[in-house]
């Protein structure tokens, strides 16, 4: 790399850090990175928005004795999860939506098919974009995805769930909740204090009504710092965790 390009890249990176952002990395998070962050063989991992269990199995393969707790409210995804994961000894599913209160919450189911492979994989409709927040710009960016069905699902805060399950430490949260990130965070104030790492999807467009962008999310999570940022996901570490 030439000196000019090094200086140019350095200035651009410094600008990101001044704004409280990390430079965007290409690719996706790796097993080695997750393993290096957690640094133990028996972590407690929460996958919030687990869909069909693909990442649940991926996470369980990284460690020797993990406890992977998964959360999914869409009945169609739950059925696919149970078919894929079956009775895995390290994975447990909770058929609820995590949000900022206990009770019931409206869930906007996504639907539609763009390609034949979608029909094969998800015969009951595209179930990867459902949310407890009503879709907004998502209807423009992905017009083939429909949100014509709204169902009521069980809801719980992260704090309530941790208390019920006697969770003392959360080593890693993997989260994909389609615009409802702030709802999970608001319901987990105490739990986040004992959470070491969070890996979550984000968007700087309001794909769902009231969705917070990355800057707003990081400002809300004052005890966390961004250690790696991808185009649509971010990895954060709790600086005050003891």
Q: What is the pLDDT of residues 61-111, one digit of tens each?
A: 999 999 999 999 999 999 999 999 999 999 999 999 999 999 999 999 999
For position 144, what pLDDT does the model report?
Answer: 95
For position 16, what pLDDT does the model report?
Answer: 41
3-state secondary structure of 185: helix
CA atoms within 13 A on the CB side of 97: 29
For residue range 164-174, what is the model confidence (pLDDT) as tens digits? Answer: 999 999 999 99
For position 115, what pLDDT does the model report?
Answer: 78
**What mean pLDDT is predicted for residues 212-224?**
97
For residue range 165-217, what is the model confidence (pLDDT) as tens digits? Answer: 999 999 999 999 999 999 999 999 999 999 999 999 999 999 999 999 999 99
**What mean pLDDT is predicted for residues 46-60?**
98
Least confident range from 38-47, 118-127, 134-143, 176-185: namely 118-127
Kindly list the domain boundaries of the chain, sorted by start residue: 3-238
Determine the Cα–Cα distance for residues 181 and 184; give it in Å rounded to an integer.
5
For residue range 15-42, what is the model confidence (pLDDT) as tens digits? Answer: 343 334 678 888 889 999 999 999 999 9
**What mean pLDDT is predicted for residues 44-50?**
98
CB atoms within 10 A of CB 30: 10
For position 21, what pLDDT does the model report?
Answer: 61
Q: What average pLDDT does the structure give for the chain? A: 91
For position 242, what pLDDT does the model report?
Answer: 58
Give burial (CB, 10 Å; 0-12/13-18/19+) of 118.
middle
The superfamily CATH assigns to domain 3-238 is Vaccinia Virus protein VP39 (3.40.50.150)
First vs last C-alpha separation in the chain? 41
């Amino acid at each position: 790399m030439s000196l000019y390009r090094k200086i140019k890249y350095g200035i651009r990176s410094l600008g990101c850090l001044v704004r409280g952002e990390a430079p965007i990395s290409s690719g996706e998070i790796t097993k080695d990175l997750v393993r290096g962050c957690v640094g133990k063989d028996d972590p407690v991992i929460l996958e919030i928005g687990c869909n069909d269990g693909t990442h649940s199995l991926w996470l369980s393969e990284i460690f020797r004795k993990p406890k992977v707790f998964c959360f999914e409210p869409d009945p169609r995804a739950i059925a696919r999860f149970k078919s894929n994961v079956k009775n895995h000894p390290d994975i447990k599913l909770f058929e609820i939506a995590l949000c900022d209160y206990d009770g019931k919450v409206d869930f906007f189911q996504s639907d539609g098919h763009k390609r034949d492979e979608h029909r094969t994989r998800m015969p009951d409709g595209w179930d990867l974009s459902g949310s407890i927040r009503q879709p907004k710009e998502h209807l423009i960016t992905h017009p083939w995805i429909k949100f014509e069905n709204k169902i009521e699902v069980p809801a719980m805060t992260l704090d309530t769930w941790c208390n019920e399950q006697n969770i003392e430490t959360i080593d890693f949260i993997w989260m994909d909740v389609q615009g409802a990130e702030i709802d999970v965070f608001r319901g987990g104030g105490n739990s986040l204090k004992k959470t070491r790492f969070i890996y979550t999807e984000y968007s700087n467009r309001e794909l769902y009504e009231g969705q917070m962008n990355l800057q707003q999310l990081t400002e809300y999570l004052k005890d966390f710092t961004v250690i790696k940022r991808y185009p649509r996901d971010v990895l954060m570490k709790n600086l005050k965790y003891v």
